[in-house]
């Protein structure tokens, strides 16, 4: 009889939790003009955190550390603004040339298709889609230039927020310890440090991998003679921050532009396709996972869902920060007992696979021992060896840290 009210209360708590989550997401979407610069500034701060910690260890005065970081951030924003304006103007000038190339490609494909299929007179691929591609491209590029003011406003807000985050970075932990009871304050401080270090490492490694990706796209464009090599390098760098989807988008766009430029010379198109796909396969599927390891411990399906969710809430900026945001939410859920099942479900599950493998190994050992004496338990040496292997795996698996394990993993 006592279980029914408890079960009812549990369902009520779940229902209220879902309502609160939906309300928070709706509030985030409605307040995107403020929240996007704030969240972007927080991740900019995390990106520079390793450099700031290194400067602190070298006993560089805080004033010079802040000045250096702000100068680097200002240079990045100015370079990005200059690149956007120059690229938009260059593409506007090239639109007539590429419009003619698109028309010639359409005629080529139509003639090839007519050899196998009987097409109506005057039919073509472009005629199926009655769109003025030239005017559409020019209007899209012009809209980018017109939105430059709003982009500048966001960049200015991010710059100001980062400045104040840098000025207060040494007072966050002491304020947490003073505002919250000692036992809980220390756990929250360690959790905050875990979030900053894990996210900083992810962002830093992502910048390194994205830089190599952009450089290889630039070399591909130079070697094959593809126009606008700097544009493809920058796009590869930017879209590499969007897991899975970003690499597919930038590779498809690059190959499509190579098809428009080089057709009917298919050799260069083939080279561009092979080099760009190889770059994404090697860096994205081999090197990046080896460098990241199990650092974020997120399920690939959850990553795709988070991309869709944050993309719906905040658009393209939300897709760029979807993965680190989801990682932060996972760490928070892992340290709240009632939300721990959520943290477990959105994890990659590799640690639990290792646990099952270890359990199966123990069961095989027991079956072997049954030949000598049925029901005999593992020896003390075997149990100690299994525990040592489990401790070693736990240290290297990169999973989130539960509250009772704080301090075990540095």
Residue of higher predicted confidence among 186 and 260: 260
The pLDDT assigned to 403 comes to 41
> What pTM was estimated for this model as a whole?
0.72
Q: How many Å apart are CA 404 and CA 394, to the nearest integer?
A: 14
Are 135 and 262 part of one and the same domain?
Answer: no
Question: Percent of the chain at pLDDT above 90?
Answer: 12
Helix (H) or strand (E) run with residue 151 in it: helix 148-167
Residue of higher predicted confidence among 154 and 335: 154
Q: Which of 24-28, 275-279, 385-389 has the highest mean pLDDT?
A: 275-279
Alpha helices, H only, 240-379 = 245-262, 266-282, 288-292, 300-320, 322-334, 340-345, 350-370
Are 40 and 153 part of one and the same domain?
Answer: yes
Are 56 and 159 part of one and the same domain?
Answer: yes
Residue 63: is its pLDDT beyond 90?
A: no
Are 280 and 365 part of one and the same domain?
Answer: no
The per-residue pLDDT for range 14-30, each reduced to its tens digit, is 788 788 888 888 888 88
Are 29 and 157 part of one and the same domain?
Answer: yes
Region of residue 401 (phi > 0: left; psi between -120 and 50: alpha; otherwise: beta): beta
The pLDDT assigned to 273 comes to 92
- Say which residues have a Cβ less than 8 Å from residue 403's Cβ, sequence separation at least 6: 187, 191, 335
DSSP secondary structure string, 156-220? HHHHHHHHHHHHTTTTHHHHHHHHS-HHHHHHHHHHHHHHHHHHHHHHHHHHHHHHHHHHHHHHH
The per-residue pLDDT for range 202-249, each reduced to its tens digit, is 888 888 888 999 999 999 999 998 888 898 999 999 888 887 788 888
The pLDDT assigned to 1 comes to 46
Are 150 and 233 part of one and the same domain?
Answer: no
Are 30 and 161 part of one and the same domain?
Answer: yes
Residue 189: is its pLDDT beyond 60?
A: yes
What average pLDDT is seen over the chain?
76
Q: How confident is the model at residue 197 (pLDDT cuts 50, 70, 90)?
A: confident
Least confident of 71-75, 190-194, 231-235, 293-297: 293-297
Which residue segment(s) compose the domain that 119 sits in?
25-170
Q: How many Å apart are CA 237 and CA 285, to the nearest integer?
A: 16
The pLDDT assigned to 96 comes to 74
The pLDDT assigned to 400 comes to 44
Q: How many domains does the chain have?
A: 3
Residue 58: is its pLDDT beyond 70?
A: yes
The pLDDT assigned to 266 comes to 82
Are 60 and 121 part of one and the same domain?
Answer: yes
Q: How confident is the model at residue 388 (pLDDT cuts 50, 70, 90)?
A: low
Q: How confident is the model at residue 131 (pLDDT cuts 50, 70, 90)?
A: low
CB of 347 closer than 8 Å to CB of 330: yes
The pLDDT assigned to 311 comes to 86
The DSSP 8-state label assigned to residue 339 in this structure reads G
Task: Tell me whether residue 276 is in a domain.
Answer: yes
Angle between helices 62-114 and 229-239 (to 10 degrees): 110
Task: Tell me whether residue 335 is in a domain.
Answer: no
Of 371, 369, 389, 388, the C-alpha closest to 379 is 369
Q: Which of 77-91, 138-152, 361-375 has the highest mean pLDDT?
A: 77-91
Task: Tell me whether residue 157 is in a domain.
Answer: yes
CB of 240 closer than 8 Å to CB of 288: no
Residue of higher predicted confidence among 125 and 345: 345
Task: Tell me whether residue 387 is in a domain.
Answer: yes
Of 152, 161, 210, 153, the C-alpha closest to 45 is 161
Of 98, 97, 91, the C-alpha closest to 142 is 91
The per-residue pLDDT for range 291-344, each reduced to its tens digit, is 665 556 777 788 888 888 888 888 888 888 888 888 888 877 877 777 778 877
Are 50 and 157 part of one and the same domain?
Answer: yes
Are 157 and 280 part of one and the same domain?
Answer: no
Q: How confident is the model at residue 121 (pLDDT cuts 50, 70, 90)?
A: low
């Amino acid at each position: 009889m006592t279980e029914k009210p408890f079960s009812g209360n549990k369902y009520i708590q779940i229902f209220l939790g879902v309502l609160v989550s939906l309300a928070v997401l709706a509030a985030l979407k409605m307040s995107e003009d403020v929240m996007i610069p704030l969240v972007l500034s927080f991740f900019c701060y995390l990106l520079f955190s390793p450099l700031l910690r290194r400067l602190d260890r070298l006993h560089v005065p805080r004033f010079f550390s802040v000045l250096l970081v702000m100068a680097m951030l200002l240079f990045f924003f100015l370079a990005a603004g200059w690149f956007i304006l120059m690229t938009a103007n260059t593409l506007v000038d090239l639109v007539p040339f590429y419009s003619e190339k698109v028309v010639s490609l359409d005629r080529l494909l139509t003639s090839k298709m007519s050899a196998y299929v009987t097409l109506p007179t005057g039919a073509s691929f472009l005629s199926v889609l009655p769109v003025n591609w030239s005017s559409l491209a020019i209007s899209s590029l012009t809209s980018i230039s017109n939105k430059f003011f709003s982009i500048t406003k966001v960049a200015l807000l991010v710059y100001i927020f980062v400045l104040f985050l840098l000025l207060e970075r040494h007072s966050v932990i002491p304020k947490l310890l003073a505002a919250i009871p000692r036992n809980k304050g220390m756990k929250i401080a360690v959790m905050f440090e875990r979030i900053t270090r894990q996210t900083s490492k992810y962002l830093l490694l992502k910048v390194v991998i994205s830089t190599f990706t952009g450089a290889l796209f630039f070399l591909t464009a130079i070697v094959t003679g593809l126009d606008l090599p700097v544009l493809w390098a920058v796009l590869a760098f930017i879209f590499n921050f969007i897991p899975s989807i970003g690499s597919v988008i930038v590779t498809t766009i690059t190959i499509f532009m190579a098809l428009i430029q080089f057709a009917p010379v298919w050799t260069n198109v083939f080279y561009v396709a092979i080099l760009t796909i190889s770059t994404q396969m090697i860096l994205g599927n081999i090197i990046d996972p080896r460098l990241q390891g199990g650092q974020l411990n997120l399920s690939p399906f959850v990553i795709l869902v988070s991309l869709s969710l944050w993309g719906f809430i905040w658009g393209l900026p939300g897709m760029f920060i979807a993965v680190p945001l989801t990682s932060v939410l996972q760490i928070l859920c892992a340290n709240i007992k009632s939300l721990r099942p959520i943290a477990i479900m959105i994890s990659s599950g590799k640690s639990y696979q290792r646990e099952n493998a270890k359990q199966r190994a123990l069961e095989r050992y027991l079956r072997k021992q049954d030949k000598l004496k049925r029901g005999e338990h593992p020896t003390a040496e075997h149990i100690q060896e299994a525990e040592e292997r489990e401790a070693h795996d736990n240290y290297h698996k990169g999973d989130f840290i539960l509250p009772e394990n704080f301090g075990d993993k540095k």
